[in-house]
Structure 1
Amino acid sequence: MEVDFNQPISQVIRAARRRRQLSQYSLARELATVSGRPTITRDLVARWERGHQIPRLGTRQWLAVVLQIPQERLDVAAAAARRRSRLGHAVVTENAPATPGPARRAQGTPALLPVFRSRVQAGILAATLLNPDRSFSLTELAEHAGSSLASVDKENKLLEKAGILSSRREGTIRLMRAAGDRGPLVGPLTELMRLTYGVPQVVGEEFGCVPGVARIVLGGVWADRFAGIAGPSPESVELMIAAPHGVNLDSRALTTAARRTEQRLKRPVHFSVVPLEQDIDTLKIPRQRPGHPVVEVAPIRPRVAPQIAGVELDGHEVVRRLMRTGQLELVSGPASASQPFLQLASKHAAAAEHLTDASPDSAFVLLAQAAQLIGSGLLAQQGLRASAAAPDHVVGTAVAAQFGHQFAQVEMLRRRARELDAPTSRDSHVVPAEAKTYLGTVRSLLAAAAEVMPKLGLFS
C-alpha cells in the first residue's frame, strides 16, 4: 500500500471511519468497548478529526483494530501531524492552550493567562474547576492539558496539597476533581479559568442550546493567546456560527446565547453566521486577522434543552440582583439539566415517608434536602445555579421571588433543618406529625415544579 507521508492523522482517521460507514459516535463506542476505556467519547474523536489533538500510541493501537488499518499507517500520520505543528499549525485541545513548536514542547508560561507557570497546570485547572460535578482520570487530564501522564500527575499532587483538587481511587484508577469543601482559593481560581481557558466551554454550552448550530469557531485576539502568541489580554470574543444548508437559526435564540455568554465571560461577544459547508480558510469571523489561528469548539447540548420562549417571572429583578452580587451564576450544557434534581428530590421524599414514625428527625432532614433540590432544579432549567460562595438561603430566595409564596417553603424547611443541627436545643427534634405534614408540603412542591418546568426558558 502506498503511504502519503504528509497526510496528517486527522484525515486518515476520518477517511477510514467513513470507509467503515461509522459515525463519530459509533467509532467512539467501539473504541471504548474494545479498549475498556469509557473515557473515549464522540467529542474526543471529533478533536482527532479536526486536528486539534493527536491520539497517543496506546490509543492508535486500538484505532488500528477498529478502523481495520495498519498501526504503522496511523503512526506515520501522527508524525506528519506533529511536523505540521512545528511548522506553525497550532494543535488545540478543548480546555487547554496550545502553541506551535518548541514552546509547546517546553510547556512554558501560558500566553492567555501568564500568571500560571505552565500550560499543564492551566489545562488541569480548566478541566476540573469548570466541571466541578465530575471526576477526571489522569489520562483524561493528560488529554485536556496536552501533556504526559507524569507531568499531569506531578501537577495534580501539588494542587491537591494546596487544597484546590481532591482525589479518590476506583480500583487502580485515581480520579481527580475540584476540592469538595470549596476552599478559599477555589472560587477565585474558577472565575479566572472561566474568563480565560473557559471561553470554549462557555461558548459551546450557550450556543449549543440554539437548535441547528452545528459548528462554532473562535478567532480574534483570544484565539491568538490560546495558541500561545504573546500579547495583550483579549477584550472581546469573536466567533463564527455555522448551520447546515437550509437551516435558519432563530435570531432570538442566538441573541440570548450571545447575551448570556457576555454575562458569563464579562466581555463583548461578536459573531457571524455562515453555511456549514464553507471552507475554514474563508470563514468570516469578526475582527479575525488573515493567517492567525482559530479554535473550533464543539456545541455542548443540554440534556434537556430549555425552551427559549417561556413565562414571565415577577422575581426577575431579584435574580438580577443575586447575579450582580455573585450569589447566582449562569450555567448551560449538562449543568442546566433540571430532571436529575427533581428525580433525587422524589427519592428523598419516598425515603422520608418510611421514616416519619421511626425517625422523624431523619425524615425531616431528607425533606429539607428535597426542597433544596426542587429549588435548584427550577434554577437549572433557567440556566442558573448558586455560586460556590453563595449563602445557603440563595436558592430559597430566588425561587420564592420567582414562583410565589408556596416556594417560600424551600427556605423555611432549610432553616428548620438547621435547628436540628444543635441536639441540645429544645427545637432540635421533630415529632412524627410534623414530618408527615412536611412530606405533603414537599410533594406539593414537586407537583408545582413539574407543572411550571416546561414553561421556563433560559434566563437572560
Structure 2
Amino acid sequence: MEVDFNQPISHVIRAARRQRQLSQYSLARELATISGRPTITRDLVARWERGHQIPRLGTRQWLSVVLQVPQERLDIAAAAARRRSRLGHAVVTENAPASPGPARRAQGTPALLPVFRSRVQAGILAATLLNPDRSFSLTELAEHAGSSLASVDKENKLLEKAGILTSRREGTIRLMRAAGDGGPLVGPLTELMRLTYGVPQVIGEEFGAVPGVVRIVLGGVWADRFAGIPGPAPESVELLLAAPPGRKPDERALRTAAKRTEERLKRPVHFAVATLEPDLDTLQIPRQRPGHPVVEVAPIRPRVAPQIAGVALTGNEVVTQLLRTGQLEMAGGPAANSQPFLQLASKHIASAEHLTDASPDSAFVLLAQAAQLIGSALLAQQGLRASAAAPDHVVGTAVTAQFGHQFSQVEALRQRARELQTPTSRDSHVIPAEAKTYLGTVRSLLAAAAEVMPKLGLFG
C-alpha cells in the first residue's frame, strides 16, 4: 500500500467522507450506530477534520469500517498529525482557518484581512463569493469558517440582509449562495476575498490541474497572516510542490499554472518542486523562515481534464484585454468544467422545440439563454468566466473574437431577447417561423462548440 506519510488524519477523514458522499452529520450518525457510542456527534467529527482533535485508536477502528479506509492508513495519518502538532505547523484544506487554537481565536479579527470583524465572516465570504455557482449548507460553511453552526447562521443572516448572500430551502436544509444581483459591491468584494482568503483555492485550482503535483504547501508571509500572526500584507506567494518519485511535473504546465496564479492573485509566485519525503521538515519552501507556519493546500482537480492547447486562437488579444480590464477572470476547479453549461443548453434547446408554435416568445428566450450557456462553456473549457461586474455582452464578445463570426449569434440572440422584455416595443414578439429558424441556429452553435472544445486548453 502506497501511503503519504505526511498527510494528517484530518485530511484523510475529510477526503474519505466526501468520497462516500457523507455529511459530517451522516458520518457521526453511522459511527454512533455501528460503534454503539452515542457520544460521537457532528461536532466531534468537525474537530477531527479541523485538526483540533485526533481520534483515539478504538475510534479509528470504527472509522476504518465506516469510511472503508485501512486502519493502518488512519494510524499513519494520526502519527503525522501528532508530529505536525509538535512542530507547530498550521495545516488546512481549502479556506478553513489554519491554526487549531481556542475557539475564540476563530472569532477574532483576522490578521490576513483585518477589515473584517471575524474570521467567521471572512471564511463565509471566501467560500460563497469565490464559488458563485455553488450553494452551501450551514454545515459546509461552518467547515469553511471553522466555527459553530450558531455563529455561521448569525453571520449568514447579516450578509443576506445586506444583499450579498441569498438563501433557499431544500426540505429541512437551508442553502446559501452568493446573490447573483448583489449590486456594485459584490465584484470588488469578491476580488478582495480572492486576493486574501482565496489564495489556497486559486493555488489549489491552478497547480492542482498540473499532472504529477500531488501535494502543495504554502508558506511565507501569507501563511503567517493566515495563521493569525499580525504583520504587513504579503507581497508574494511561496509554494512547495511535491511529486512522487520518478514523476516530475511538466515544466510548461507549471509555468502556465504560475502565470495564471499571478494573474489571479496580482502578486509574484515563487515555487519549488521536490520529491515526496516522509518528513515535512526535509521539504524546503522558497523564502520560508524557520519555525514559521505552513499551510497545506488541497489540489483541486478539474472534473474534465483540460487538453494541452493545440490551436492558435485568433482572439487571444481580445481575451487578454478583457482579462486586463476585469471583464473576464480566470477560474479553476469545478468552475472550469464546461459540461454543466452544455447540458443545460441542451435542455433549453429541447424545451424550446416544444414551444415554437404554442409560445414562440418563450422558445426564443430559452434559445438565447442556451446560446449564452454555449459561450460560457467555451470560456470554462479555457479556465475563464465573465466576472461579477462584467457587462452582459462580454461572453459573446470573447467567443466571437476567438471562434469566428458564427458565434456572433450569442450576442445577437441576447440583444433580441432583451427587446422581448419590453412588451410595448414593436419588436417585442417573435413569430413561430423565427423561433424555428433560431432553433436550428442554436443547434449548430452547440455542434460547433462540441467540435472545437477538444482542441482547447487553459488560457494563459
Query: What is the TM-score of this pair, normalised by structure 1?
Result: 0.85
CA distance in 2, matches of 1:121, 1:181: 20
- Cα distance change, pair 50–323 in 1 and its aligned pair in 2 (3 A): farther
The C-alpha deviation readout for 1:390-440, integer Å capped at 9, x for no partner, is 111100010000111111111111111111111111111111111111111
2:294 paired residue number: 294
Give structure 2 stretches of 5+ with no counterpart: 1-6, 32-41, 67-73
1:375 paired residue number: 375
Question: Map of 1:153-172 to 2, 5 A cutoff?
Answer: 153-172=153-172
Whether 1:414 aligns to 2:411 is no
CA distance in 2, matches of 1:198, 1:300: 13
CA distance in 1, matches of 2:83, 2:176: 33
1:242 paired residue number: 242
Of 35, 50, 61, 2:26 maps to 35
Task: Please report how far the alpha carbon of residue 68 of structure 1 lies from its aligned counterpart in structure 2 after TM superposition.
Answer: 5.6
Root mean square deviation, CA, Å: 3.4
Contact 1:361 1:430 in 2 (8 A): yes
Q: Which has the higher contact order (CA 8 A, sep 6+)?
A: 2
- Per mean C-alpha deviation after superposition, the further-off stretch among 97-106 and 256-265 is 97-106
Contact 1:421 1:428 in 2 (8 A): yes
Contact 2:236 2:268 in 1 (8 A): yes
2:364 paired residue number: 364
Contact 2:225 2:231 in 1 (8 A): yes
For the residue of structure 1 that corresponds to 2:20, the secondary structure is: helix
Contact 2:106 2:120 in 1 (8 A): no
Letter in 2 for 1:381: Q
CA distance in 2, matches of 1:343, 1:268: 37
Question: Map of 1:258-407 to 2, 5 A cutoff?
Answer: 258-277=258-277, 279-407=279-407
- Per mean C-alpha deviation after superposition, the further-off stretch among 134-143 and 220-229 is 134-143
Task: Please report how far the alpha carbon of residue 98 of structure 1 lies from its aligned counterpart in structure 2 after TM superposition.
Answer: 3.5
Give structure 1 stretches of 5+ with no counterpart: 1-8, 18-22
2:64 paired residue number: 67
Task: Please report how far the alpha carbon of residue 25 of structure 1 lies from its aligned counterpart in structure 2 after TM superposition.
Answer: 3.6
Letter in 2 for 1:67: S
Contact 2:51 2:100 in 1 (8 A): no
2:51 paired residue number: 53
For the residue of structure 1 that corresponds to 2:329, the secondary structure is: strand
2:37 paired residue number: none
Task: Please report how far the alpha carbon of residue 443 of structure 1 lies from its aligned counterpart in structure 2 after TM superposition.
Answer: 0.9
CA distance in 2, matches of 1:337, 1:321: 23
CA distance in 1, matches of 2:21, 2:351: 39
- Cα distance change, pair 88–439 in 1 and its aligned pair in 2 (3 A): same
Contact 1:85 1:100 in 2 (8 A): no
- Cα distance change, pair 158–85 in 1 and its aligned pair in 2 (3 A): farther
Task: Please report how far the alpha carbon of residue 90 of structure 1 lies from its aligned counterpart in structure 2 after TM superposition.
Answer: 3.5
1:6 paired residue number: none
Task: Report the number of matched residues.
Answer: 430
Contact 1:314 1:401 in 2 (8 A): yes
Contact 1:85 1:91 in 2 (8 A): no
Letter in 2 for 1:35: S
For the residue of structure 1 that corresponds to 2:355, the secondary structure is: coil
Task: Please report how far the alpha carbon of residue 348 of structure 1 lies from its aligned counterpart in structure 2 after TM superposition.
Answer: 1.1
The C-alpha deviation readout for 1:58-106, integer Å capped at 9, x for no partner, is xx9997744369xxxx9xx99x989986995545453133346458536
CA distance in 2, matches of 1:148, 1:48: 9
The C-alpha deviation readout for 1:346-405, integer Å capped at 9, x for no partner, is 111111111111111111111111111111000110111111111111000100001111
Letter in 2 for 1:239: L
Contact 1:166 1:176 in 2 (8 A): yes
Whether 1:202 aligns to 2:206 is no
- Per mean C-alpha deviation after superposition, the further-off stretch among 409-418 and 23-32 is 23-32
